[in-house]
Copies of this chain bind each other. A is one copy, B any other.
Amino acid sequence: MPYVNIRITREGATAAQKAQLIRGATQLLADVLGKDPRSTVVVIDEIDPDNWGFAGETTTERRKAGR
C-alpha cells in the first residue's frame, strides 16, 4: 500500500515517460521492501517552472540564466 509522490517541473515529460516512472517506482518498492505492486499508488505532480524554486530562484529564472 505504499504511496509515492514524484514532483517535477512541467517541462515536457511524455505520457510514456510518466508510465515508465510509475512502473519503475512500483518495481523499486517491490524489489527493496517486497511491497505488493497491486496496491502501490504513484502520483506525479508536474509543477509550473514559475512555481518551482531551487537555490532561491524560480526554474524560469534559472532556465533563462542557462542553469
Q: Which residues of A contact B (CB under 8 A)?
A: 1-9, 13, 15, 17-29, 31-33, 35, 37-47, 50-61
- List, in ascending order, chain B residues with CB within 8 A of A18's CB: 50-51, 58
- List, in ascending order, chain B residues with CB within 8 A of A9's CB: 1
Copies, count: 6
Closest 6 CB pairs of A and B: A22-B53, A42-B53, A26-B56, A44-B51, A3-B7, A24-B28
- List, in ascending order, chain B residues with CB within 8 A of A27's CB: 56
CA distance A47 to B8 in the complex (A): 14
Least distance between A30 CB and chain B CB atoms (Å): 9
Can you pick out 29 interface pairs between chain A and chain B where the beta carbons lie within 8 Å of each other? A1-B9, A1-B59, A3-B6, A5-B7, A7-B43, A8-B29, A8-B33, A8-B35, A15-B58, A18-B51, A19-B50, A19-B57, A19-B58, A19-B61, A21-B28, A22-B53, A22-B58, A24-B28, A24-B32, A25-B25, A26-B55, A26-B56, A28-B28, A38-B55, A39-B39, A40-B53, A43-B51, A43-B52, A43-B53
